[in-house]
Structure 1
Amino acid sequence: MLPEGFQWRVDADNEPAMFLGGQRVAFLTRVDSGWRIGINPTLITRRYVFRPTEATARGYVEAWAHKWKDRLREEYGTD
């Protein structure tokens, strides 16, 4: 279960992405070796993580959203 206000949607690139309100906070991209996860795609602190399957990539993003939900709400202006 996602934190309140977070949801999975398809982004403009037709890839799975996690949104907080109207802001994309993470996205998944299929690559040869599995899935690349983009964390904080619009902020300076952007980073990438790689996982072998879409399920493990989604699980990683969901755990990340739970851990950082308060900071994300503050940074993205949705509290």
Structure 2
Amino acid sequence: MQVQTVFKAGNSEVIAIPSELREQTGIKAGTKVVLTGIPGGGGIVIKKVDRKQKTKSALTAEFKKWLKEVLEEDKEILDELALR
């Protein structure tokens, strides 16, 4: 077990993963992970995303449909704004 210090980087709080743990887990820069908080402030669990497992998207089908409609309805206005 190693003690690490959480530090500030921009608007985020960051912790370095020691090389020994990176080697054991296969986690490296660019690896997608899922963070789960332990209730009561007990800590954080970090798990690699299983590439075979489908991850939850924050974009629902209903939102995607709404966005498509808005983009189609306001196409001229959005195109004009993009040119400014």
**TM-score, reference length from structure 2:** 0.30
Bigger Cα Rg = 2
TM-score between both structures, scaled by the size of structure 1: 0.31
More strand per residue: 1
Higher helix share: 2
